[in-house]
Amino acid sequence: MATPQAYVYDAVRTPFGKFGGALAQTRPDDLAAAVVRATLDRSPGLAAGDVDEVVLGLANGAGEDNRNVARMAVLLAGMPTSVPGSTVNRLCGSGLDALFTGSRALETGDAQVVLTGGVESMSRAPWVLPKPSRAFPAGDVTAASTTLGWRLVNPRMPTEWTVSLGGANELLQQRFGISRTRQDEFAARSHERAAAAWAEGFYDDLVVPVGEVTKDEGIRPGTTVERLAELQPAFDPAGTITAGNASPLSDGASAVLLATAEAAATVGHDPLARVAGRGTFALDPQDFGFAPVEAANRALARAGVGWDAVGAVELNEAFAVQSLACLDAWGIDPGIVNTRGGAIALGHPLGASGGRVVGTLVARMRAERVRWGVAAICIGVGQGLAVVLENTDAQEAGVR
């Protein structure tokens, strides 16, 4: 008996909002429920009760999203209470890890249809106070923000591991000698491509409105290298990373519908892409920006293809410097990477970004008639994930 394979049937996301922006008044569980509901509505032949599991990624989970946000999304989206929900946390890779979990469930025969994705409201992430180890402390206690990065750090952690995310990428810049100009050029191109993609209607079928919010909020059309060059370094006075060549804090949610080939009749339409290979990799925490390199190489090896066969790449742009370091290491044509903009322009709501890069990759592969594509993401504390997808129209796609 042949081993079942996992296929992507649909992908959708909310617009990505700025920190404190248009989505800041929307709870994360409501954002998650919005994409779950939208996914079901887009496959009207699929009964909600036929979804075997909902698996969502979430990076923080210290606030309104604290009590298994996937299960909350199931309930808030009006799905039957019999549909289970599970939340996974691999920081920035959580949404892609959710796809890994869902695709493995399909391949092992544990499920036929799994709705995956992720969510993050960085605007609504709370401040937290550590509990005292002894009652009635006399001194002050400092609240820690749960929006991003290290907090409440174990004192046994080496200090070089717990450097800030930006500080870690300044170290990466020093290691590879990636100039400020290259980073700013990369960032300007991200905004240019994102603005063009929206203008051309590329995102019309990938993004569902949340109330009156219909479009990604962080795109700055007309961004130039010259304007970016005026920004001051954000992490090191002598550094190269600025607010302009790094991804912004964001709010949003994404969903990716997975199912086996045999479940096509249940879903009500044909699949779009096959999950051909997955890759994970870990290294020293401060080097996290470089982790997608080996993660993608491993995913390609498991798919049985090389970089020369890949025609589309979606790499989450946490920072321009780490994105460039990865592209240089892969030795691929930058012209196939993030052609519809990336996280520097679109935003990076941590738990949702994995679903975004997969959804964008599938849409690109179909539009650009590409057979093989790679989606990859770096993850704080020294990890990377990548997935290889095969276009189900491969026979007609014109391999390149």
pLDDT band at 362 (very low <50, low <70, confident <90, very high): very high
pLDDT band at 227 (very low <50, low <70, confident <90, very high): very high
What pLDDT is recorded for position 396? 59
| Helix, coil or strand: residue 386 | strand
Question: What whole-number distance in Å separates Cα of residue 145 and Cα of residue 127?
Answer: 4
Burial label for 2, CB within 10 Å (0-12, 13-18, 19+), is exposed
**pLDDT per residue over 96-116, tens digit each?**
999 999 999 999 999 999 999
Percentage above 70 pLDDT, the chain? 98
What pLDDT is recorded for position 395? 57
Handedness of CA 95, 100, 101, 106 (dihedral sign): positive
Mean pLDDT of 335-341: 98
Statement: residue 124 has pLDDT above 80: yes
Mean pLDDT of 134-159: 93
Mean pLDDT of 133-160: 93
Better-predicted residue by pLDDT, 395 or 38: 38
326 is catalytic: no
What pLDDT is recorded for position 137? 87
Residue 13 CA, distance from chain mean position? 11
Question: What whole-number distance in Å separates Cα of residue 338 and Cα of residue 316?
Answer: 8
- Residue carrying the six token digits 């298994």: 68
Q: What is the DSSP letter of 121?
A: E
Percentage above 90 pLDDT, the chain? 94
Mean pLDDT of 209-221: 97
What pLDDT is recorded for position 394? 77
Residue 209 CA, distance from chain mean position? 19
- Residue carrying the six token digits 């930058």: 334
Question: What whole-number distance in Å separates Cα of residue 356 and Cα of residue 342?
Answer: 10
**Has this prediction a pTM greater than 0.95?**
yes
Per the CB < 8 A criterion, the answer to whether 209 and 356 are in contact is: no
| Cα three-residue angle 170-118-3, rounded to 5 degrees | 110
Per the CB < 8 A criterion, the answer to whether 39 and 253 are in contact is: no
Mean pLDDT of 221-249: 97
In 3D space, the residue among 353, 153, 320, 170 whose CA is nearest the CA of residue 251 turns out to be: 353
Statement: residue 399 has pLDDT above 60: no
pLDDT band at 184 (very low <50, low <70, confident <90, very high): very high
| Cα three-residue angle 378-380-386, rounded to 5 degrees | 25
| Cα three-residue angle 157-128-213, rounded to 5 degrees | 110
Tokens linked to 21: 């922006």
**pLDDT per residue over 267-286, tens digit each?**
999 999 999 999 999 999 99
Per the CB < 8 A criterion, the answer to whether 300 and 306 are in contact is: yes
Statement: residue 133 has pLDDT above 90: no
Contacts of 201 (CB under 8 A, 6+ apart): none
**pLDDT per residue over 53-97, tens digit each?**
999 999 999 999 999 999 999 999 999 999 999 999 999 999 999
191 is catalytic: no
Mean pLDDT of 332-361: 98
Per the CB < 8 A criterion, the answer to whether 349 and 121 are in contact is: yes
Statement: residue 309 has pLDDT above 70: yes
Statement: residue 397 has pLDDT above 90: no
Long-range pairs of 358-361 with CB within 8 A, sequence gap ≥ 24? 358/8, 358/11, 358/95, 358/96, 358/99, 358/256, 358/314, 358/387, 358/389, 359/11, 359/12, 359/13, 359/206, 359/254, 359/256, 360/206, 360/314, 361/312, 361/313, 361/314, 361/389
Name the pairing type of β-strands 113-121 and 53-57.
parallel
Name the pairing type of β-strands 372-379 and 383-391.
antiparallel
Statement: residue 289 has pLDDT above 90: yes
Mean residue pLDDT of the chain comes to: 96
Statement: residue 261 has pLDDT above 90: yes
